[in-house]
Structure 1
C-alpha cells in the first residue's frame, strides 16, 4: 500500500508513489484499488457542506498537518527561487473567526460560497469559518435580497466593524419606497452597522446610523464600504507583531501599500504611509490626524510610481504589504537602496519568493519567515518576514 506523505498546493494528497489523491491527509494509506484508509492526521470535517463548498479545501486535516501544509507551501516557493530562511511555526486562526467574507446570491435566494472548482452556489446552512455575527445575517439576507428582483447573481461583502456588520451588496440598487422600507426593517432588526449598494457606479450608503470604523493600532479608522481588512483579528495580530519585530528600533519607517493603516498605526516610529486606494489613504489620514499620530500619508500608485532609491534612503526601515502580484517594481528600487531592514508581508508565497530572490541577490539576508493561517482550512497562505543587510 502507498502512504500519503504531504498535501499539494491545491489541497490534494501526494502519495509516496507519486499519485495525487483528493481529500487525502498525510499518514493516510491507499489500498490497491485506490481507497483511502484514514491515518492519524485525518479528522472528521465539522461542516455538512464540506467538501462541496469552495470556502474550505482542507477541513479533513488536523492542525498539525494544516500547519505542515502552510510551511511546505512557503518552503517550496523559496526553494524554487534558490532562497533559504528559517520558517517559524504557523500562527493559525481558530474556527469561526473570519470577520470579512464575500458571499454570492442567486435571484432565487440561494446564498453562500461557490462550490469547489465550480460557479454553482452552495446554499449555506452552517459555516465553521465565518464569525457568528456574519453568519447570523445569511438567513435575513436570503429573505431580503430576492425582493429586489435582480436578474443576475449578486455579491455580498460582509465585514465586522466596530459598530457591527458592514454590508455591501454589489449588482443591484434599491428602488422605491417598498425597497427602502424593507432595507430599513432588515437593518434595524439585525443591528447592522451599515448597508451600501453598488450597481456599478460605486458604493452608495443607504443605512448608517453612526460612522462606521475599525480599530487599528488602537485608533478608530473610518471604514470605507468594501475596504480591505485582514481576515481575522488573530491573523492581524500575528502579522502586526511580526512587522513590529522586523523594524524594531527604527525611528522613521515607510509603510508601503499601507491600506487603512494596519501596520502604520501599530509601529513605534514616525511613519510615512503610501497607498494607491484613495478612500483608504484618506481614511488613514483622517484617523491619524484625530489621534495625533506622527504619520504622513500620500496617495500614490506604487506599481506605476514606486519610491525611488533616493526616497527610500531617507528611512531607517521599510514595511510593505503588496497585493498578490507582489511588489516587483518597488523591490527593484529597494534592492538598489541603502535600507538596512525590510519587513515584507505577503499573501502569495510565489510572488514573495520571486521578490525575495531579487532582494537576496542585492545583498539582503532573509532572516526569518512567520507563516500565518488566517483563512481557516484553506489553501490560502500568508506570511510576514524580515530582510536585513549590513550598511555598505
Structure 2
C-alpha cells in the first residue's frame, strides 16, 4: 500500500493522508489516484509529490521517480488521461522534465494568464492571495513607480501594473521570464530584472527611482535587501511575510531608519496551523 501525505514535523516520517478538509477536492482526488498507481508497483519508493491547481486543472510534479519500462510508462500516461491531469512532470534531480502536458499550463494572476513552470511558487489559497493583493493595491494606489522584490510569477507586479511603471526583480529565471511575457501580452509597463536579492540586493540609490516598494521574501526574510530599503528613504514599503519572526527582525531595521508601521493585516492562509501570513505597510516619517 502506498502512503502519501505530509512529513511529520522535524522528521522524514510520512503521515498518511486519507482525508483533508482544507484541501481542494481536486487535489485530494489526485492524491488518491497516485496512491492507487504507486500501490501496484513492486519495491520501495521515496517520492516527492507536489500538487497545484492551475487554470487547466491539476499540475503534478514527482521527484525521485521515473517509470521503468514500457508498461509502467503506458500505465502512467493512462493515469494522466483518466485523471485529467493538466500536467505531469518528473524530476530525477536535474530539474523537472515534461511527461504529460496536453496544452500549455497557465495560472491566472489578477486577470492575466501566466505560463506556470513546474514547481513554481504560488500562494496557498485564492482568498488569501486576493487579500494580500488587495492590501498592496490599496496601500500603493497613489504611487507612480513601484519595485516588486522577490516577484516570482508576478502576483503583485501584475496586479500593480495598470497605470504605473513596475520593476519585477526575481532570482528564479523561469518565473521571471513567465512574468515578463505575461506583462508584455497584457501591455503593462513592466521591467523584469533577473537578480538574486540575497547576494545582490537592489541598492539604495537604485530604489530611490521608486515611490513604492512591495516585497514578499521567503521565510528567512530579506535582511540584506531591507537594509538597502531602509537607507533609500522610499516613502511607502509593503512587506508581505509568511514568517512573523523574520518579519519582526526586518521591521526593526525599518523602524530604526525612521519608518512607522502604519498598518498590519494578518491573513489566515494556513487553516488549522500555527502559521499566519502578514501584510504590512511601513511609511517613512518626515524629517
Query: Shorter-normalised TM-score: what interval?
Result: over 0.9
After superposition, the C-alpha distances for 1:249-302 in whole angstroms (9 at most, x for unaligned) are 101100000000000010142110000111110111111111111111011000
Correspondence list, 1:355-374, <5 A? 355-374=250-269
Pairing 1:259–2:152 present: yes
Indicate the RMSD between aligned Cα atoms, in angstroms: 1.4
Q: Partner of 1:120 in structure 2?
A: 13
> Under a length normalisation based on structure 2, what TM-score does the superposition of the two structures give?
0.95
Distance of 2:274 and 2:191 partners within structure 1:
36
Aligned with 1:341 (options 236, 251, 258): 236
Question: Residue 108 of structure 2 corresponds to which residue in structure 1?
Answer: 215
Superposed displacement of residue 126, structure 1: 1.2
1:379: how far off? 1.0
SS in 1 for 2:14: coil
Q: Specify every segment of 5 or more residues in structure 2 that has no aligned partner in the other structure, as ranges.
A: none
SS in 2 for 1:306: coil
- For residues 331 and 225 of structure 1, the distance between their equivalents in structure 2, rounded to whole angstroms, comes to 29
Q: Which runs of 5+ in 1 are unaligned?
A: 1-107
Shift of 1:111: 1.0
Please give the alpha-carbon distance, in whole angstroms, between the structure 2 residues aligned to 1:218 and 1:371.
Answer: 24
**Cα displacement (A) at 1:362:** 0.4
Secondary structure of the residue aligned to 1:135 is helix
- In 2, distance between residues paired with 1:117 and 1:323? 19
Q: Is the 8 A contact 1:150 1:172 kept in 2?
A: no
What's the TM-score once normalised by structure 1's chain length?
0.70
> Is 2:49–2:60's contact at 8 Å kept on the other side of the alignment?
yes
User: Among residues 202, 207, 232, which one is paired with 1:312 in the alignment?
Assistant: 207
Query: How many angstroms apart in 2 are the aligned matches of 1:171 and 1:280?
Result: 23
Partners of 2:40 and 2:147 in 1: how far apart?
A: 48
Q: State which of 91, 113, 135 in structure 2 corresponds to 1:242.
A: 135
Measure how far apart 1:247 and its partner are.
1.2
Does structure 2 retain, via aligned residues, the 8 Å contact 1:240–1:262? Answer: yes
SS of alignment partner, residue 255 of structure 1: strand
Distance 2:179 2:34 in 1: 31
Question: Residue 97 of structure 2 aligns with which residue?
Answer: 204
Instruction: Tell me whether 1:293 sits opposite 2:188 in the alignment.
Output: yes
